[in-house]
Amino acid sequence: MIYDVGDVRISALGGCQQVGRSALLVQTRESQVLLDCGINPGSSDSLSAFPRIDTPPFDLSTLDAVVVSHSHLDHCGFLPFLFKYGYDGPVYCSAPTSNLMTLLQLDYLDVADKQGTIPPYDQKDVRETVLHTIPLRYGTVTDIAPDVRLTLHNAGHILGSSISHLHVGEGLHNIVYTGDYKYGRTMLLEPAVAEFPRVETVITESTYGAPQDVMPPRGEVEERLTAVINQTLDGGGKVLIPVPAVGRAQEIMLVIDGYMRRGLMKEAPVFIEGMISEATAVHTAYPEFLAREVRNSILHEGMNPFQSDYFTIVEHPSAREEIVDGEQCIIMATSGMLEGGPVIDYFRRLAPDERNTIVFVSYQIEGTRGRKVQKGIGETPIVSNEGKMEIIKSRMGVETIHGFSGHSDRRQIVNYVRRLAPKPERVMTCHGERAKCFGLANFLRRRYNIEALAPEILETIRLR
């Protein structure tokens, strides 16, 4: 069959000129493939909270496959909704992503239930999603639609995160969708893959795509976290670290364990609550996806760094009062953006005491409670356990430690595009605030003389 490259189109259904509800529809002459299907944790309005699958060109009845880049809810949180309304096709992702996204989708339902909100699907739809999910190994080429082949590669963002390489037709066009990626080594993971057999179009995240979004060296970042923790503990306070259950939680656990063992961080109990322990168990089950040092420690040295003597798993909410009233400690709890989960109760209890510190170590999406606290807003409305709205007046210290993020910073994104082999013909920016998507696209166009686009929601790009 003879193709015209114009037969390949990419439609932005979510996650463009914004962070949240990632969803891109790839259409060819014979196939329709959806890349990610997430929610926007910072929105309560359905038009901005979920992907725009309510409008053409999306047609659920003709969808051939869904590819999930990783398990964070802004990339997979809306997926069960497709099965609720009749999708019966395959979902492709890595094996760790398959396990982790089920955990996080079920946790999403649990949090919604506790907050008294109505989620867009239920547990039955999550189970249906599991039955249709096909886990793939990195580097394995798989036919996923009549004229589309998929290969997943390590993205370095969180456990199992994948860069998707789509080979359309018989060499007609090759698309690389980065999802969220880290083009740099961390304690937890190896850096993102940047070499492919062929690539004409690359779709890159731009979460930290602004010129000022350059993270300090990793050593400085770890020392800064250590200094904040030591200062708070020495002052008689407690440290609250909101973390996503997958990724930053395990990274911070490795840092705390390592620095305490070396005597650089003040020893104190570290209480862990939320989905963190379940997610950490999945990390232990897939050591081959982890960084070389951690992998060797688990497989060959018989030492699991996630099971430190410093860590205590909080099994029941009844223990929180004793933790808060007790001696100095570190508390790691979900969710990472203060949108729900046990961290809310800890924040409510700890916020009035100026000796305490809340430390943000992951990206806070605009509109989330975490972003508001991060900005220094002193009064935070929270729904109590009794279902009543209360205003929390916060006097605790607020610290943001840049550099632990699983996203690439501006320098890493630019280096990734520059070093991509082979050199792409076109770059599309997404997963970033509007100014960052446009700014990064303009920079790449000028610097590398490459076609660079920043599509908006519901815009369709015809590849030429």
Cβ–Cβ < 8 Å for 150, 42: no
How far is it, in rounded angstroms, from Cα 96 to Cα 135? 8
How far is it, in rounded angstroms, from Cα 440 to Cα 445? 9
Rounded to two decimals, the pTM is 0.90
List of residues 6+ apart from 45 with CB closer than 8 A:
none
How far is it, in rounded angstroms, from Cα 46 to Cα 52? 9
How far is it, in rounded angstroms, from Cα 198 to Cα 266? 50
Q: CA geometry: angle at 34 spanning 31 and 38, to 5°?
A: 170
Q: What are phi and psi of 108, to 5 degrees?
A: -60, -45
How far is it, in rounded angstroms, from Cα 217 to Cα 214? 9
Q: What is the pLDDT of residue 365?
A: 82
What topology is assigned to 5-212+406-462 in CATH?
Answer: Metallo-beta-lactamase; Chain A (3.60.15)
Domain ranges for the chain: 5-212+406-462, 218-400
Q: What is the pLDDT of residue 1?
A: 43
Structural class in CATH, domain 218-400? alpha beta
At 326, the amino acid letter reads G
Number of helices (H) and strands (E), helices first, in the chain? 14, 22
Same CATH topology for 5-212+406-462 and 218-400: the answer is no
pLDDT in tens, the chain (464 residues): 444 556 899 999 999 999 999 999 999 999 999 999 999 987 877 788 999 999 999 999 999 999 999 999 999 999 999 999 999 999 999 999 999 999 999 999 988 887 788 999 999 999 999 999 999 999 999 999 999 999 999 999 999 999 999 999 988 899 999 999 999 989 899 999 999 999 999 999 999 999 999 999 999 999 999 999 999 999 999 999 999 899 899 999 999 999 999 999 999 999 999 989 999 999 999 999 999 999 999 998 888 889 899 999 999 999 999 999 999 999 999 988 888 889 999 999 999 999 999 999 988 888 889 999 999 888 888 876 666 788 889 999 999 998 898 999 999 999 999 999 999 999 999 999 999 999 999 999 999 999 999 999 999 999 86
Cβ–Cβ < 8 Å for 163, 177: yes
How far is it, in rounded angstroms, from Cα 194 to Cα 191? 9
How far is it, in rounded angstroms, from Cα 26 to Cα 39? 19
Cβ–Cβ < 8 Å for 38, 14: yes
Q: What are phi and psi of 204, to 5 degrees?
A: -115, 145
Q: What is the pLDDT of residue 2?
A: 46
